[in-house]
Amino acid sequence: MSRRRLKYVGWALACAEHVLHLFEDQQPGDGRPRAALDIGHAWIRGEVPMRVAHQAAFAANAAGRGLPDPARFAALSAGQAVAVAHVAAHDLGAAAYAIRAVGATVAADDAARAPAREREWQRVRIPADVRELVLEDQRLRSALCWHVFDD
């Protein structure tokens, strides 16, 4: 596996982990998103095959069904993060859902500031050797990601 893909997965996992508490606070007995993130880390270490990571993505996504937006988006972020093992482009999905999760937790008067803070938190953590690629991808695909990457 390419080092670049491993960097994308690691960054996507960090984005999802940052908001996972929004799911766990709502559904403390459902460990599917956390397990998916753990599987993502195991995949980075070469301990599980891609198909296991892919299955974990589906489980994390399913965990969010029917939940309020912050919890649902946090579960979807976890699903997208582990899915980077299958398709690198899911890294933006993990980041975008994390931003949406944060945005869904605040009052309307903070609706722009909170997502911007989360976006900045994420950008600081992009690995240096893939930073320009991720930022360019965010610019190119922001419309597909609800414009959450627009500055």
| Cα three-residue angle 77-78-83, rounded to 5 degrees | 95
Q: Indicate the pTM of the whole model.
A: 0.95
Residue-level pLDDT at 133 = 93
DSSP 142: G
Banded pLDDT at 112 (limits 50, 70, 90): confident
Residue-level pLDDT at 64 = 98
Higher per-residue confidence, 1 vs 114? 114
- Distance (Å, whole) CA 15 – CA 151: 18
| pLDDT > 80? residue 1 | no
- Distance (Å, whole) CA 81 – CA 18: 12
Residue-level pLDDT at 151 = 86
What does the pLDDT look like over 2-54, one tens digit per residue?
Answer: 888 899 999 999 999 999 999 999 999 999 999 999 999 999 999 999 999 99
Residue spans of the domains in the chain: they are 3-145
- Distance (Å, whole) CA 108 – CA 103: 9
Please provide the size of the chain in residues: 151
What does the pLDDT look like over 52-66, one tens digit per residue?
Answer: 999 999 999 999 999
Residue-level pLDDT at 46 = 95
- Distance (Å, whole) CA 9 – CA 149: 18
- Distance (Å, whole) CA 67 – CA 94: 18
Nearest to 23 by CA among 61, 75, 66: 75
